[in-house]
């Protein structure tokens, strides 16, 4: 086959265009830090990237769920601790009022302090997190304390088991309870016992204080048991958090290995391609450049 000047010129231009395209691809990798800029560059890498990114997004969502759980559990722990301190103070005051040496005025003063502690405990029962009541199970839009009632009355559904299990998904198919059992914390028995102690000290009825102290101890024991169960769930939450953090690190590394470009190799490839391109330009210049004047010299 006869090779013409036009064929040489066309082939040179086509090869130069390929060289430009290859350099452009490498420069895109260096500027974006990614192996591919569109799925057609490498469909396998693109498909794997979608899968790995989906896993990473899932882990990130679970970590956001953990943040919500931490908020609920920590606020629940704080509320229970404050209530327990209040009940402990009420017990100390009741023992003081039951020793038989105080005047009626002193007993009334103790009753007044118990009343203030009772109101404080009721306010703790109405604790909100992100606008939701955390001590009312799944019925988070309503306060566990009935408004404007004297003596204090709790919501009618507080003992309903159907509202006792507010759960949050912390990993695939794994749910963790966020709330405490409302019937074991700020229940009607607690407020009735406190009210009875307040009334007994106000009226000077010391004969009932011993029985009421026993009832108060039972209330505190139930509260402590619920607090222990809450602590166990918090420990599990920390273990899940640690596992998710490890999964996030692994998922991020796998995604990086799949998509991120090897900078050292890309720079070397660019330098190599530049050398090849310069050589191609030089050869093309010798092929395309000759004119009649070049032969007359």
pLDDT higher than threshold 90 for residue 259: no
* Across 29-33, 57-61, 165-169, 201-205, least confident range: 29-33
Evaluate the omega torsion of the peptide bond into residue 152 and state whether it is cis, within 30 degrees of 0.
no
CA 28 to chain centre: 36
pLDDT at 1: 62
In this prediction, residue 196 carries a pLDDT of 95
pLDDT (tens digit, 9 = 90+) per residue, 193-208? 999 999 999 988 888 8
Q: How much of the chain, in percent, has pLDDT values that exceed 90?
A: 53
Q: How far is 224 from 233, CA to CA, in rounded Å?
A: 14
36-48 pLDDT, tens per residue?
788 887 888 888 8
Token pair belonging to 146: 């009935």
Q: What is the mean pLDDT of residues 56-81?
A: 94
From the list 144, 117, 143, 127, the residue with the least C-alpha distance to 73 is 127
**Mean pLDDT value across residues 245-271:** 87
- Read off the pLDDT band of 265 (50, 70, 90): confident
pLDDT of residue 288: 67
Mean pLDDT across the chain, nearest whole number? Answer: 88
Q: Which residue has the higher pLDDT, 286 or 45?
A: 45
Which one is predicted more confidently, 297 or 35? 35
DSSP-assigned letter for residue 167: E
CB atoms within 10 A of CB 211: 11
pLDDT surpasses 80 at 294:
no
- The pTM score is 0.78
295, pLDDT greater than 70: no
pLDDT at 5 over 70: no
pLDDT band of residue 94 (cuts 50, 70, 90) is very high
Instruction: Select from 69, 68, 65, 63 the least CA-distant residue to 245.
Output: 63
Letter string b/e over residues 10-23, b meaning 16 or more CB atoms within 10 A of that residue's CB: eebeeeeeebeeeb
Q: Of 170, 165, 128, whose CA–CA distance to 145 is shortest?
A: 128
Specify the pLDDT at position 2.
Answer: 67
Which H helix or E strand runs over 63? Answer: helix 43-97
Lowest pLDDT segment from 32-46, 159-173, 215-229: 32-46
Query: In angstroms, what CA-CA distances link 125 with 40, 75, 222?
Result: 59, 11, 16
Tell me which of 32 and 95 has the higher pLDDT. 95
Each residue of 110-158: pLDDT tens digit? Answer: 999 999 999 999 999 999 998 999 999 999 999 999 988 989 999 999 8
pLDDT of residue 207: 84
Q: Which of 72, 88, 111, 90 is nearest to 223 (CA)?
A: 88
115 or 287, higher pLDDT: 115
Predicted pLDDT at 120 = 96
């Amino acid at each position: 086959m006869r090779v013409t000047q036009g064929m040489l010129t066309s082939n040179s231009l086509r090869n130069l265009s390929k060289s430009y395209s290859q350099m452009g691809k490498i420069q895109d990798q260096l500027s974006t830090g990614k192996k591919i800029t569109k799925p057609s560059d490498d469909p396998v890498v693109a498909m794997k990237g979608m899968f790995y990114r989906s896993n990473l997004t899932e882990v990130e969502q679970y970590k956001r769920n953990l943040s919500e759980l931490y908020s609920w559990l920590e606020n629940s722990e704080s509320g229970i601790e404050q209530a327990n301190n209040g009940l402990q103070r009420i017990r100390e005051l009741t023992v003081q009022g039951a020793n038989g040496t105080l005047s009626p005025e002193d007993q009334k003063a103790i009753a007044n302090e118990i009343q203030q502690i009772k109101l404080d405990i009721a306010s703790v029962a109405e604790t909100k997190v992100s606008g939701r009541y955390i001590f009312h199970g799944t019925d988070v839009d309503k306060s566990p304390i009935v408004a404007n009632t004297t003596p204090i009355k709790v919501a009618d559904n507080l003992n309903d088991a159907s509202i006792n299990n507010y759960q949050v998904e912390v990993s695939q198919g794994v749910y963790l309870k966020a709330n405490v059992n409302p019937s074991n914390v700020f229940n009607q028995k607690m407020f009735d016992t406190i009210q009875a102690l307040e009334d007994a000290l106000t009226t000077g009825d010391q004969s009932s204080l011993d029985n009421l102290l026993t009832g108060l101890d039972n209330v505190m024991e139930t509260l402590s048991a619920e607090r222990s169960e809450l602590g166990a769930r918090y420990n599990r939450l920390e273990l899940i958090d640690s596992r998710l953090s490890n999964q996030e690190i692994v998922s991020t590394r796998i995604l990086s290995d799949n998509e991120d470009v090897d900078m050292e190799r890309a720079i070397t490839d660019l330098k190599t391609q530049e050398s090849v391109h310069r050589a191609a330009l030089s050869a093309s210049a010798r092929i395309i450049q000759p004119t009649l004047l070049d032969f007359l010299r």
